[in-house]
C-alpha cells in the first residue's frame, strides 16, 4: 500500500474544511489535527502558511466542481435540461446530511474579497472557469456568444445564491425552485 502524499492530503483536508467553515472558521491547527501531521510539514509545503494553503485549496475545489459539472453535462445534451438536472443534483447533495458540503468557495470569497488579493484572485478564477463551462454548454447548443455568456453569469449567480439560501434555511427548496424556473428564464432567443 502506498503512503499518502502529505501535500495532497493537506490540500484536500483544507479544501473540505474551508468549504464547511470558511477561511476564518479554520485554523492551521484544525487542519493539522484533522490529518495528524506536525506544523513543520505544513510549512515545508506551504512556507507562506494559511494563505498559500487556502489558494491551493481553492484551486483544488475549483477542479472538483469543474469535473462534477462536466460529468453532469456529458449526460444531457440540451443545455436547459442539463442545467436543471445539475441544480437538482446539487440540491440532493446538500440535502444529504451524511456528507456535509458547504459552499464550494462562496464563504471564502465573501470573507476575503476585500482583504486578501491572492485569495480573491483564486476565487475569481474559480468562478470564471465555472461560468465559462456553463456558457460553453449554451454556445455549443447554438446560442449566441453573448447570450451564452449572459446565461453563464446568471446560472453561476443563481446557483451560488441558491446554495446560500439552502444552507441558511436548511431546505433545498430554493435550489429546486431555481431548477424549475430555468426553462422559462433560459429560453433561446435573439439578442
pLDDT digits 0-9 by tens, 110-126: 888 899 999 999 999 99
Query: Does 18 fall in a domain?
Result: no
Which band of pLDDT confidence, cut at 50, 70 and 90, is reported for residue 101? low
The answer to whether residue 1 is domain-embedded is no
Q: Is the pLDDT of residue 190 over 90?
A: no
* Residues of the domain holding 107: 55-186
pLDDT at 94: 84
Of residues 67 and 97, more confidently modeled: 67
Give dist(CA 29, CA 64) in Å, integer: 25
CATH at 90: 1.10.357.10
Nearest to 128 by CA among 147, 100, 109, 103: 109
- The residue behind cell 428564464 is 185
In the predicted model, is pLDDT for residue 102 greater than 70? no
What's the number of domains the chain is made of?
A: 1
Does 117 map to a domain?
Answer: yes
Does some domain include residue 86?
yes
Whether the pLDDT of residue 137 is over 90: the answer is yes
Q: Is residue 77 part of a domain?
A: yes
Between 107 and 37, residue with greater pLDDT: 37
Question: What is the chain's mean pLDDT, rounded?
Answer: 90
Confidence check: pLDDT of 1 > 50: no
- 92 in a structural domain: yes
Instruction: Calculate the alpha carbon distances from 64 to 12, 57, 174, 175, 179 in Å.
Output: 10, 11, 23, 20, 22
**67: which 3 cell numbers?**
469535473
pLDDT for residue 2: 45
Does residue 7 lie within any of the structural domains?
A: no
Q: Is residue 81 part of a domain?
A: yes
> pTM for the whole thing?
0.89
Give me the pLDDT at residue 99, please.
61
Section 58-84 average pLDDT: 94
Amino acid at each position: 500500500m502506498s503512503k499518502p502524499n502529505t501535500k495532497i492530503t493537506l490540500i484536500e483536508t483544507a479544501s473540505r474544511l474551508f468549504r464547511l467553515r470558511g477561511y476564518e472558521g479554520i485554523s492551521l491547527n484544525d487542519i493539522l489535527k484533522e490529518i495528524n501531521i506536525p506544523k513543520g510539514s505544513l510549512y515545508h509545503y506551504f512556507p507562506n502558511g494559511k494563505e498559500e494553503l487556502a489558494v491551493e485549496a481553492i484551486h483544488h475545489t475549483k477542479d472538483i466542481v469543474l469535473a462534477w459539472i462536466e460529468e453532469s453535462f456529458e449526460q444531457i445534451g440540451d443545455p436547459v435540461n442539463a442545467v436543471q438536472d445539475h441544480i437538482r443534483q446539487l440540491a440532493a447533495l446538500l440535502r444529504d446530511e451524511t456528507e456535509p458540503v458547504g459552499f464550494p468557495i462562496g464563504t471564502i470569497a465573501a470573507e476575503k474579497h476585500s482583504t486578501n488579493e491572492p485569495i480573491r484572485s483564486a476565487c475569481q478564477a474559480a468562478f470564471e472557469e465555472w461560468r465559462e463551462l456553463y456558457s460553453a454548454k449554451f454556445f455549443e447548443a447554438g446560442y449566441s456568444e453573448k447570450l451564452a455568456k449572459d446565461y453563464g453569469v446568471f446560472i453561476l449567480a443563481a446557483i451560488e445564491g441558491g446554495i446560500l439560501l439552502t444552507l441558511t434555511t436548511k431546505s433545498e427548496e430554493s435550489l429546486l425552485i431555481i431548477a424549475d424556473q430555468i426553462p422559462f428564464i433560459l429560453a433561446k432567443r435573439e439578442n
